[in-house]
Amino acid sequence: MPEPIHVGFIGGGPRAESIFSTLVMNKRFEDAVVPVAMVDTSEAVASNWRYKVDSTCTSLDDFLAHEGLEAVLVISPPSTHATIVRRCLEAGIDTWCEVPMATKLDDVYPILDAERANKGKKGRYAFGENSCWYLPIQFAAKLVDDGKMGDLFYTEGEYHHSVEHYMIEENFSQKKSLDPEFAPEVHPTWRATLPPVVYGHAAGMALYVISRQDPNDRPVQVCGFGNMKMLRRFGNQNFQIAMLQTRNDVICKFGSGFVLPNEEVRHALFWASKCYFNATISGAPEYYLHLVPDGMERYPDRHRASGRKITEQDMASAGATAAEGGHGGGDTLMMAAWLASLRGEKPYDVGAVKAAEMSGVGLVAAEAIKQRKVLDVPDFTQ
C-alpha cells in the first residue's frame, strides 16, 4: 500500500471544510493522506482547524516552512489564488487549486512559468474544476473515447447560483439574513464584485470534452454579453453569457450568473456528427441522448436513428465514472484523480495549460463584454 501523502490546506472557509471532508473523512481515501498543516489569515478560522490538522498558522511563510509538506490545496478567495499558487510551485510543492486559476489574465503566466521551471518533478499544478467530473460530463467524455460522439461542432456549459448568503460579510461571516440590495450599510465579499463568467464551472464542462476529442484543440476567440437585472447595488453584472470558438471550429456557449435560484443550475450540451446529448444536471435532472449507430452514419440511414431519455444509471452502466459525494460525486472523483497523479499512477486531467484555457476564456470574455467586441484568446502552450 502506498505511503500516505502529507497534505496542507490553504484557506479554511466553507469550501475548504467540504474538501477536507471529501479528502480526509471519506472511507474511499482512508490512509491515503495525512492532514499536517493549515493556514488562514484569520486567527479565528485557523483556530477552528486545530483538531483537524497537526498545526495551524496565519502566515504563508510559516506554512510553507512546515517540514514534510508534500502537497497543498489552495481554497482561499479567488483574488489570492495566483500569488499563493506561484509561491507553492516555486517551493516545489504539488498544488491543487480551486477555481478560478486567477482573476487577472497577466497572473496566469507566472503560474505556467513556475510549473515549467520544475521540469515535471515535484511542483505540479492541478485545477479544481469539479464540473469535469460530473457524471454526465464523464459520460460525454466516454462517448468521445468510444468513438460514438463523432465530430463535435457545438457545446454548451452553464452554471448559475444565487449567492446572496455569501455576497456580503454580514451574511457570510455574521450569519445574518440581509438583502444585499437594500441593507443600509454592508461590506461586500469577492462574490459581489467578481464577474460571474470569470468564476468557472461553465466553460470547463465543455472544454474538458472538447480536449478529450483533440488534446491540441484550444479556444481562439470569444465574445459575450451581460446584464444587471438583479443586485444592481455593487455595479457588477450578475448574469453573463459568452461564446467561444476553438481552433478546430467547435463553437461553445458558456455562461454563469449569481442569480436565482438558490440551488445550482447546471446544464451541458454536446452536439456532434453522430450524437446529440443534452444534460440538465441539477434541479430536476433530465438527460436526452440521440446516437447514430455504427454503420448508419450516411443519409438516409442516419435519419432512421431516434433519441431517448436516459438515466444516471444508464450512464454508469455504459462505463462513465460515478461516485457519491459533493457536487454530484465530482469532488470525490476529482480528489481520486489528484491522488492518483501524486502517486504517479496517471496524469491529472486538468493541468496548468488546460486550467489556463478554462479560466482564460472567462477572463477574456469579461473583457470582451466590456469592449463589446470579439477578442482573441492567448495560446497558453507557448
Structure confidence at residue 215 (pLDDT): 96
Structure confidence at residue 376 (pLDDT): 98
The percent helix, strand, coil of the chain (3-state, each to 5) is 35, 25, 40
Which CATH code is given to the segment(s) 5-131?
3.40.50.720
**Class of residue 27 by CB neighbours under 10 A (exposed 0-12, middle 13-18, buried 19+):** exposed
Longest dimension (CA), the chain: 68
Structure confidence at residue 231 (pLDDT): 87
Structure confidence at residue 137 (pLDDT): 97
Q: What is the pLDDT of residues 132-159, one digit of tens each?
A: 999 999 999 999 999 999 999 999 999 9
Task: Report the C-alpha gap between 86 and 110 in whole angstroms.
Answer: 7
Structure confidence at residue 282 (pLDDT): 87
| pLDDT tens, residue order, the chain (382 aa) | 789 999 999 999 999 999 999 999 988 998 999 999 999 999 999 999 999 999 999 999 999 999 889 999 999 999 999 999 999 999 999 999 999 999 999 999 999 999 999 987 789 999 999 999 999 999 999 999 999 999 999 999 999 989 888 899 999 888 899 999 999 999 999 999 999 999 989 999 999 999 999 999 999 999 999 999 988 999 999 999 999 999 999 999 999 999 988 888 999 999 999 999 999 998 889 999 999 999 999 999 999 999 999 999 999 999 999 988 888 899 999 999 999 999 999 999 999 999 999 999 999 999 999 999 999 999 999 8
Residue 377, helix vs strand vs coil = coil
| Architecture of the domain whose range is 132-321+351-376 | 2-Layer Sandwich (3.30)
Structure confidence at residue 262 (pLDDT): 85
**Residues 6 or more apart from 313 whose CB is under 8 A from it?**
none
Work out whether the CA dihedral 94, 125, 99, 279 comes out positive or negative. negative
**Whether this model's pTM surpasses 0.85:** yes
Task: Report the C-alpha gap between 234 and 290 in whole angstroms.
Answer: 43
Torsion angle (degrees, nearest 10) of CA 190, 72, 341, 356: 30
Q: What is the pLDDT of residues 267-308, one digit of tens each?
A: 999 999 999 999 999 888 999 999 999 999 999 999 999 999
- Domain regions of the chain by residue span: 5-131, 132-321+351-376
Q: Give the three cell numbers for residue 37.
A: 498543516
Phi, psi of 258 (to 5 degrees): -95, 65
